[in-house]
A and B are shown apart, each in its own frame.
Chain A
Amino acid sequence: MGEEYVIHHPDDLLVYEYDGSVDRNVPQAVVLPNSTEEVSRVMALAYREGIPVVGRGSGTGLSGGAIAPEGGIQIAFPRMHHILEVDTENCSATVQPGVINLDLDTYVRRFGFRYAPDPSSQRACSLGGNIAENAGGPHCLAYGCTTNHVLGMEVVLEDGTIVNLGSTARQTPGYDLRGVFTGSEGTFGIATKIMVRLLPVPEAVKTFLGVYPDVDSAATAVSAVIGHGIVPAALEMIDALSIRAVQNVMDAGYPEDAGAVLLVELEGLQEEVDEIGAEVEAALWESGPSLVRVAEEENDRANLWIGRKGVLGALGSLAPNYYLVDGVVPRTQLTQVLRQVSRISEEYGIPIANVLHAGDGNLHPSLLFDERQPGALERVIEAGAEVMKVCIEAGGALTGEHGVGLEKKELMPLSYSQDDMDAMLLVRQAFAPENRLNPGKIFPDGTHYQPPARRPEPGMTV
């Protein structure tokens, strides 16, 4: 493959020891292939030598998915970053795994299309990583997550075999291997070519911002919108602490005393957006907001989003580190669960800032701490697990879009019985009988993951 594309000097490898989560471990080598054949050859070699292989996109994952806990070879894709084809007839695009999510979306817009899944790290995250984690994003409320947009893939299995899953034809005979592969967190194979579905750019978009005195009244507004039989394109909430963080670093136009901010986005025909928009506005006013703003022009809409998009980066103004949780609950349980989150915050003495994909019931509480204080990290991890338990008890799930990875594997029994997990493991045995791909992830094995510590940086998003 060429010496320059194999990284093995310890100093250089440090760049690959971490991802967006808090786990770390240094791989023995990182390879930067330029073709499917090169990926296949590297994997065949590793297979023969019994070396674990971990795929890595941009390293923005939030559950330790791209970390090599047992060492081994990391395969990264900065060189496989080409958009291979945009098929306007079939509303699809074929890309290499290193293509950045936002780059794809930006590129296809010139043809009147969009790529709908928009994880908040979309400026940096790659399609390959999106496939591995079944990435979500605010607009998954209306359009579904990555898995609903993957039509086909070329994947390399652990022994180097190349297989095609799915196709441009929307239905194929046999088991839905492309479906079960998506979200398998790099344990079934490594995708080297990805065909995704594109959607037409909507005719009209309208964004609403509502400012509420507290989380309860904002959550009531969420219920009111959904209760009107409206599924917006996006429905996001941020709480008082997040608002304070945002206002510390920029003026997002939020009043100082705001207890919660709600963002609602509608897309569709002008008629739909107008008719439903009037209902959304009425629903937002029902639970006593101090302010409701509406924007239709692109720049005005971007201004309404600016605070929401800046939250995570702004948390640095409150604490040196944060630990981000990704629970999901039925939307009607949001108010109750948020109260419990604030109880946990008080009990542990840990400030928690909340950002929510409220329409999906997907919470992102950020537990704020200072890793230099002895024991702080351990307490944060403990409180985070407590939050996840609350989500499960409310009928929810451990993770909505970040994946299990290293972070949550020991908590899997909260969601699934041993029999449930055994069924999943049977599928892994079918794809990767030797378990050489991304080993040590997803399933509990008694090894507790080393607590995370992460510094907020400007531009970080969730």
Chain B
Amino acid sequence: MNASRTDAEAVRPARAAPTVSEPSPAPRRLPESVWALALLAPSLLLLASLFLYPLSLSIRSAFTERGGDGGTGNFGRAFDLYGGDIVFSGAVACLTVAIADILAIAIAGYLTLGRNQTAVAWLRWLYRWPLFIPFVVAAQMMRSFLAKNGLMNNAIVGLGLLEPTQTVGFLDWRGVIVTFVWKQLPFVTLIVAGAMASLDRSMIEAARNLGAGRLRVLIEIVVPQIRGPLVVASVLTFVTLMSVLSVPMMINAGSPTMITVDMAYRITSLSDYGTANALGVISYLMTAAVAWLYLRQGIRRDGVPP
């Protein structure tokens, strides 16, 4: 902040040496904050017109009845028709976050505490591959991989663990969770591993010297210190999962399904913006609730002295 003030003075030399005869260009007399806002204006305009306005529109539309009056009828219809899907969406997203968090802690923990450098290097190379693969491509992969005749079942049969007639497809809620975890795990691991790498190692070494096993060091010393980044990664993952349309559409065709599919159906097939937006507001509230719960837990645990 101080630095920007010195910069501000450098921009306006006119004030230090006022020369009346020389008309300095008009923009230079503008305060710096006006310049700053002018430079920020296009991005703020985009944010306001393509995010804030549609957001307000979705909330307003959710509380507008078909006749045009205000009311909560859309929410009644949303809960009547899609109550099961709302629970299903929340459960799938929560389960995905939980599994991704546990696996991410395990992978990042090994990257931080692992003693065998070769294995650490392999793991580091391995876990990142799905990081930037889009959901729609991941869904297509899993659609064939997890099918009854997919590569996964073929490999299990090839190893002699199952007979070909015993295999089952996983293209239901399990497939959705597997796809979500596959796609989001590198993201959560990257954040968690980054946080673990920047920890002070002396406490870890001290605990190791006192004879604590690596698993105990991970759970009791490392994980409590990276709770903040883990919470952020979990909340971002939950929000992302509540927005994905392609994965439930392509992998979980039946019912119950995720509310993103229901929203798309109300819009594209029925042009029913009221119910679709009621579902949208419900998804905002679900993410807000999850963020609040996570953050509260993070703060409470951090508040407890070690």
Q: Do A and B bind each other?
A: no
